[in-house]
Structure 1
Amino acid sequence: MKLGNKLKIIRVPILTPTLLPHTTTNCYLIGNEQESILVDAGFDQTDTKIALHREIKKNDLAIPRSIILTHSHPDHAPGVLQLVNWEPVVYCHRQEKLATIKAIAPWKQISYLEDGDKISIAGEEIMIIHAPGHTAGQLNLYIPSKQILLAGDNIVAEGTSWIGPPDGDMSDYIQTLSMIKQLKLDKIGPGHGEWVENPYEHIEFVLERRLYRENQIKSLLKDHGSLTVVHLTNLIYDKLPHPNVFEVAKRTTEAHLIKLIKEGSVTQLDTHYSLKSTK
């Protein structure tokens, strides 16, 4: 096999109106000079097309005919509209169907991938993983030969991803993190930020952060008796990088509360939450 035919995995950070501390969203080009795919498409802006075409040319890659969306959020999916001249088939999970159709309209060439599906690019196998948490239909891609996971927004390089309604579920997220931790990993391609070169330590960091927040919520409810989600969020996140992050911080708090209610340790009355009595 010629050197040019070997599989390349290229991280392409593209400026997007995403949440601080991140300012870019990662798209990933996977393939060689004969065939390639794109994972995530960024925001619907001219810079998306320019950045991707620059990297395709620089790395001698074929124009992708398939775009796999990890999820449908506006910093990951609508960039498809900048790439319609590729005539791509766009893939997502069925649970992301309606949101994806809305995100990339009027483009209509959509198909679906399920957990356990396998695709082959440049002679290499890529496994599709349904990895709910950040959204119900989140997809992750695992390349066994490289021991690389492309994690979408289940993993971000700096800090932790927000998880919350209406799209996210904290119980699912914890299960997903525990599942991907069982993979053989050399590094993780996050939804935002640089390659994660210490995958197991980073996953454990995220799990510990979620457990810390959960215990923090219980402690605050014990001390204050009853609190609203807004009050809880203000007590937990006293230093946010920007005021516009408060909404997703609130949703993450709410996701923890929903999980704790399901587990029977927290109760809700109207807009207030409290620890369930053990008496």
Structure 2
Amino acid sequence: MLEHGKPWRLSPTVRRLVAPNPGPMTGPGTNTYLLGDKDVIVVDPGPAIDSHIDAILAAGDGRIRYIICTHTHPDHSPAWKAVAEATGATVIGALPDGDDHQDETFNPDLTLEHEYRLKTDELSLLALHTPGHVSNHYCFLLEEERMLFAGDHIMNGSTVVIIPPGGDMQAYITALEMLLDYSLDSIAPGHGELIHDSRAEIEGLVAHRLGREAKVVAGLNTLGLSDLDTLVQTVYDDVDPALHPWAKLSMEAHLIKLEREGRASCSDKHWQAKSPT
């Protein structure tokens, strides 16, 4: 159940709050997770909306010890400051990086730069660097329950927009494939409901992205030299044209990946297929 302002228990260790920021890019709203009951960890405090901050503090009931952000987009991290000031919690995450759509206020006590494990008396949480959506993105694995807090790396019901230059399609697919090395029972996304068939979800996302990449190559072969506005109509002919401005961003990320691989080239904002050498 996704209901604003009320914590919903997902497991013996995990509760979820949904921020009141629904929209085309956020679905029902940003999911904020509270882990543990003695020393509470807040994962993705979300936007700085007073009612949501109040709900986090009420659910934490004076026991919030850590605040963790998967990344620093404005729907995921800005409430960190108010929650930290109210609780004295230690703030953990990677510094803003990679695009112009960042929470530049984010100033963690512990800066993530590589794999990191946070342990309390109740749980162990493993930070995994998962760039792609943006370069400073981390997922967090609750090891006792094999639940992955996926931020915007994996969403329920929609695909993640990859926005160059901070977004990187090659890095995104590689990070998805890396997650297949871990035994996951469920995925707690940044938006939407809990996902239970984790391996099938991840494999499906990789297949979807590679399938879309194949459509990009086919579109270039059919159209020849094309700009993004022309190409998106062919590559995303199965998507509502109202969403093409967002689709065009991910398509450009595919094209940049293809260019790195020697399979496409760009000249004066026009793209064409290229045979790899």
Give TM-score scaled by structure 1 length: 0.85
1:171/1:226 CA distance change after superposition, 3 Å = same
Q: CA deviation at 1:225?
A: 0.5
Instruction: Indicate whether 1:214 and 2:200 are aligned.
Output: no
Aligned residue pairs: how many?
Answer: 265
- The CA distance in 2 between the partners of 1:133 and 1:89, in whole Å, is 26
Instruction: Indicate whether 1:40 and 2:44 are aligned.
Output: yes
Q: CA deviation at 1:226?
A: 1.4
- Indicate if the aligned counterparts of 1:36 and 1:121 stay in contact, CA closer than 8 A: no
- Indicate if the aligned counterparts of 1:72 and 1:99 stay in contact, CA closer than 8 A: no
What fraction of aligned residue pairs are identical, expressed as a percent? 30
Alignment of 1:1-279 (within 5 A): 8-16=13-21, 18-20=23-25, 22-32=27-37, 34-56=38-60, 62-83=62-83, 84-94=85-95, 96=96, 103=103, 105=105, 108=107, 110-238=109-237, 243=242, 245-277=243-275
- Indicate if the aligned counterparts of 2:98 and 2:167 stay in contact, CA closer than 8 A: no
- The CA distance in 2 between the partners of 1:170 and 1:43, in whole Å, is 26
Unaligned runs of 5+ in 1: 1-5
Q: CA deviation at 1:237?
A: 3.1
- Indicate if the aligned counterparts of 2:99 and 2:166 stay in contact, CA closer than 8 A: no
Q: Deviations over 1:25-65 (max 9, x none)?
A: 11111111x211111111111121133235335xxxx5323
Q: CA deviation at 1:104?
A: 5.8
Code of the aligned partner of 2:44: D
- The CA distance in 2 between the partners of 1:217 and 1:47, in whole Å, is 43
Q: Deviations over 1:82-109 (max 9, x none)?
A: 4231233322124x36989x7263x755
Which residue is equivalent to 1:3? none
Unaligned runs of 5+ in 2: 1-10
Residues 150-159 or 123-132, more deviating = 123-132
- The CA distance in 2 between the partners of 1:249 and 1:15, in whole Å, is 25
Q: CA deviation at 1:17?
A: 5.3
- Indicate if the aligned counterparts of 1:187 and 1:197 stay in contact, CA closer than 8 A: yes
- The CA distance in 2 between the partners of 1:125 and 1:21, in whole Å, is 28
1:217/1:29 CA distance change after superposition, 3 Å = same
Q: CA deviation at 1:126?
A: 1.3
- Indicate if the aligned counterparts of 1:80 and 1:104 stay in contact, CA closer than 8 A: no
Give TM-score scaled by structure 2 length: 0.86
Helix, strand or coil: the match of 1:206?
Answer: helix
Code of the aligned partner of 1:85: A
- The CA distance in 1 between the partners of 2:250 and 2:226, in whole Å, is 15
- The CA distance in 1 between the partners of 2:30 and 2:63, in whole Å, is 20
- Indicate if the aligned counterparts of 1:93 and 1:114 stay in contact, CA closer than 8 A: yes
Helix, strand or coil: the match of 2:74?
Answer: coil
- The CA distance in 2 between the partners of 1:131 and 1:64, in whole Å, is 26
Helix, strand or coil: the match of 1:216?
Answer: helix
1:278/1:202 CA distance change after superposition, 3 Å = closer
> Which structure dedicates a bigger proportion of its chain to helix?
1
Q: CA RMSD in A?
A: 2.6
**Larger RCO (CA within 8 A; separation ≥ 6):** 1
- The CA distance in 1 between the partners of 2:194 and 2:159, in whole Å, is 14
- The CA distance in 2 between the partners of 1:99 and 1:90, in whole Å, is 22
Code of the aligned partner of 1:251: L
Q: CA deviation at 1:277?
A: 4.2
